[in-house]
Chain A
């Protein structure tokens, strides 16, 4: 009785879903990555490691590798220290306005770091930077106070935008941590300092390390900041070198080789970092989540309360408010370099960009339509794939679980390069120089977000709910449509915005794939800046900031309202 039913089940709906899921991941993610590995290791008709080593030994590539590691290392250390300190400050002390501070420290998540880099260039470039000029013109300095076109400049800017990764992880751990773990140390006779050192820090160490590794992963593969601040001074990291080679030599064999070898290095390091992160967080080590509990004790800062408040406010003012204000001010200037006086400032640039300038109008339209399409497609694909991974018991699921891990470890520049290899006509389809190639790359790039949000939502849906629907006579399709989809709708909603908003400011992938008519907002800001159109670039960046912040606020309001409604 059960045998024929099961057979029908396998080749029927379940089989189709499994096949489609594997197909989506293979076509969009696995195929481009495999092509990169193939191109890197397969030369002159044979598997060839010597050539790979030769490419890595070229001075330019070798230097780019070193730079990536050095910049990522410095950024990670800096962000971890700052993130952990602020997290501790807003969760465990009696700092005033803690909730406001917590919100502000998360703002950099929203801001695109290359726009930040642009702002810092305006403030601290050696000759023209406003801060440097201020010191040279009015305080008698002979040279610039700080040169942002340097390793330390790049690291500083990356730290400003990446430290929230550690901050949010450590905040979460400190808030969820069972307060009796610390109280039992207190009743054992330990003072607050001893408890922090011997109990609290060791217990949240996995969270600190996991946040740090996330930053390492992000910084290694980070394009924007290094592109804006490094290239000027000849500082390249892996992604910027890939971009430079592909861009300059329009698809020559040597450029593709260097690109694929560097991309392989990125993929391997990303996989290694993710593996390491899994180890750190592995096996639910340190279950410190509280059951019922009283609120943890707050350290009384006493005399340090206001100095630390001022430090926090200064940090927020300096790293968030100042760059944002500079972007908007420069965006209002008639010509870059003029002083900020009323007669030099106007809204003309903004009007021009929004209504008259074809390049930027196109860019905004491209970004919005690409973002919407990518978000919708990836959202639905993500639900389907997560459903198979989380809920279905079918043969062949193992392949899918492996493929499902891939999107998490493939950095943007690798995807872009892979997409070029796959969709430039070699395999019968030529999307190069069209918006479609960017769409394909966006889907691959944001699949990880969708898988994460949807699996989390699906794991909340207990199997018995679906089984109950089947027991009531619903077919698999009907139970999916009537039970599963309504229940995972919040996850899909989350996935949509997790994709749509970041795609509006996407740079890494688009910069490698754009054609004159297919610029995105990110590409337009970047190229305007490269072409010396600093004020236009700043004005467009300002508009992008407005769109992003409005969108984010709307979503926070919407999701906040839906949480309250529950």
Chain B
């Protein structure tokens, strides 16, 4: 039985539908990310799960416990939901010591003092904060503050942890380190995570499954690998990783690049898309080979730039262009020369 369930969840702000009929489930111990550009509804969804935002339609369950249901006129306030939550801007209380910050949720629950001390100490140990227990959070670095926020969320030993862009206030180096710390804590405590981020590498590194959202609508829910390798639509393809799109027109039963040559033999859309007149041919810069074979795309290298580990090419195909990335060691055409291009994994979208 899935642990967290969202059923037909919908949220409107005035005439704008911020979250549109969203459905997903999360297993116990799973790490589930919501990924998308800003304004896609991911944070609003998380806040509806937390109870900070009322929803207009749908239901949210944890286990068999109903949390919100406008239809049944039921709404459990956030303080009764027993979640752990970490916010982007840390939100540690500057007037309380590190220890008291972590102890707060336990004091609210009137946990007896021996048990409280044990659990606070546990949470502080798990987050490497034991030495700073009596410090003021203002004396800690950004990473330290975020550890306090994590420890505070851990203190009640929740089985659902809500993370709202928890790493985006940290510098890049620390961000990577904290990712693995969060993962390690999850393994140790066994909670499931709902993680909101706009950073795809963060979502890829952490998650068991990713939900990609756009304009309040779910685009794809899948494993990180599948999201990258088999994007459900053009948006997901472009949002994850680097991407190229070539516009292709069909005329007289032949496919032709918009403003360019006919496509070589063997490069054609799958039968399911054969009826369309205009199509997009998607490819990833790293999945293109330079080739001298006869049946390939032909173009001219307009720019060649060394980016350290990789070489970045911009190849003109008539009025359109493709980016190609190759490892530093592989030889490639020079700027201004003509070349052939072989798409290793051409993907078509209508």
Is the CB–CB distance between B88 and A189 below 8 Å? no
- Cβ proximity bits B134-151 to A, threshold 8 Å, 1 near / 0 not: 000010000000000100
Contact among B52, B85, B89, B95 for A202, CB-based, below 8 A: B95
Partner of B156, one of A189, A191, A203, A297: A189
Contact B93 A186 (CB under 8 A): no
- From residue 80 to 130 of chain B, which have CB atoms closer than 8 A to chain A? 80-85, 87-89, 91-95, 104-105, 108-109
Q: Which residues of the partner chain A approach B50 to less than 8 Å between Cβ atoms? A: 183, 187
Q: Are B87 and A184 in contact (CB under 8 A)?
A: yes
Q: Is the CB of B108 within 8 A of A294?
A: no
B152 on interface, CB distance cutoff 8 Å: yes
On chain B, the residues within 8 Å of A184 by CB distance are 85, 87, 91-92, 149, 152
B138 touches A186 (CB 8 A): no
Is B318 interfacial (CB 8 A cutoff)? no
CB proximity of A205 to chain B, nearest CB, Å:
8
* Extra pairs beyond A186-B78, A198-B104 (7, CB < 8 Å): A178-B89, A185-B104, A189-B79, A191-B79, A287-B94, A290-B89, A291-B88
Beyond A178-B91, A203-B94, A287-B138, whether A189 also contacts B105 by CB under 8 A is yes
Interface hits, A145-193 → B, CB 8 Å: 178, 180-181, 183-191
User: Is B95 a contact of A203 with CB atoms below 8 Å?
Assistant: yes
Q: Is the CB of A180 within 8 A of B91?
A: yes
CB distance from B139 to the nearest CB of A (A): 12
**With the chains together, A229 CA to B195 CA distance in Å?**
64
On whether the beta carbons of A189 and B93 are closer than 8 Å, the reply is: no
Contact B79 A203 (CB under 8 A): no
Cα distance A205–B94 in the bound complex, in angstroms: 12
C-alpha gap A75/B53 in the complex (Å): 41
Name the one of B52, B94, B169 contacting A288, with C-beta atoms under 8 angstroms.
Answer: B94
A286 within 8 A of B: yes
- Measured CA separation A293–B90 after assembly (Å): 12
Q: How far is the CA of A92 from the CA of B336 in the complex (A)?
A: 65
Interface presence of A559 (CB below 8 A): no
Given contacts A188-B152, A202-B95, contact A183 B87 (CB under 8 A): yes
Q: What are 7 A-B pairs with beta-carbon distances under 8 A? A: A178-B91, A187-B50, A187-B83, A187-B85, A286-B94, A291-B89, A292-B88
Residue of B nearest to A288 (CB): B94
Kindly identify which residue among B84, B93, B105, B109 contacts A199, using a CB–CB cutoff of 8 Å: B93
Most buried by B among A183, A186, A189: A189
Q: Are B91 and A189 in contact (CB under 8 A)?
A: no
| B interface with A by C-beta (< 8 Å) | 47, 50, 52-53, 77-85, 87-89, 91-95, 104-105, 108-109, 138, 149, 152-153, 156, 162, 169
A286–B92 CA distance with the chains assembled, in angstroms: 11
> What is the CA–CA distance of A121 and B223 in the complex, to the nearest angstrom?
78
Interface size on A, residues (CB 8 A): 28
**Residues of chain B contacted by A202 (CB below 8 angstroms):** 95
| Residue on A nearest B82 in the bound complex, by CB | A189
- A189's nearest neighbour on chain B, judged by CB, is B108
Residues of B within 8 A of A291 (CB): 88-89, 169
Bound together, the chains give a CA A198 to CA B95 distance in angstroms of 10
A344 CB within 8 Å of chain B: no
Contact B94 A187 (CB under 8 A): no
B108 touches A188 (CB 8 A): yes
How near does chain B come to A562, taking the closest CB pair, in angstroms?
Answer: 29
Q: Does A556 contact B (CB under 8 A)?
A: no
Which residues of B have CB within 8 Å of A290?
Answer: 89
Partner of A188, one of B53, B79, B138: B79
Determine whether A194 belongs to the interface, using a CB cutoff of 8 Å to chain B. yes
Output the nearest chain B residue to A187 by Cβ-Cβ distance: B85
Given contacts A178-B89, A180-B87, A181-B93, contact A188 B52 (CB under 8 A): no
Q: Which partner residue on chain A sits nearest B38 by CB separation?
A: A292
Across-interface contacts of A294 in B (CB, < 8 A):
47, 52-53
Taken residue by residue from 193 to 222, chain A's Cβ proximity to chain B (1 for < 8 Å, 0 otherwise) reads as 010001100110100000000000000000
Closest to B162 in A: A187
- Given contacts A183-B52, A294-B47, A294-B52, whether A190 and B149 have CB atoms under 8 Å apart is no
Residue contact A181 to B79, C-beta cutoff 8 Å: no
Flag if B109 contacts A189 (CB, 8 Å): yes
Residue numbers in B under 8 Å from A203 (CB-CB): 93-95
Residues of B within 8 A of A183 (CB): 50, 52, 78, 85, 87, 91
Chain A residues with CB under 8 A of B80: 189
Q: Bound complex: CA of A292 vs CA of B169, how far in Å?
A: 11
A181-B91, A203-B95 as given contacts; A190 in contact with B108, CB under 8 Å? yes
* Distance, CA A184 to CA B50, complexed state (A): 10
Q: Give chain B nearest CB distance to A340 CB in angstroms.
A: 49
**In whole Å, how far is B278's beta carbon from the nearest beta carbon of chain A?**
39
Nearest chain-B residue to A191 (Cβ)?
Answer: B79
Complex contact B95–A188 (CB within 8 A): no
With a cutoff of 8 Å between Cβ atoms, the chain A residues found around residue B47 in the complex are 294
Measured CB to CB, the closest approach of chain B to A78, in angstroms, equals 26
The contact of B89 among A180, A186, A188, by CB within 8 Å, is: A180
Cβ < 8 Å to B, chain A residues 278-296? 285-288, 290-294
Contact of B77 among A186, A194, A293 (CB under 8 A): A186
CB-CB under 8 A from A180, the residues of chain B are 87-89, 91
Cβ 8 A contact of A187, one of B78, B93, B109? B78
B11 to chain A, nearest CB (A): 13
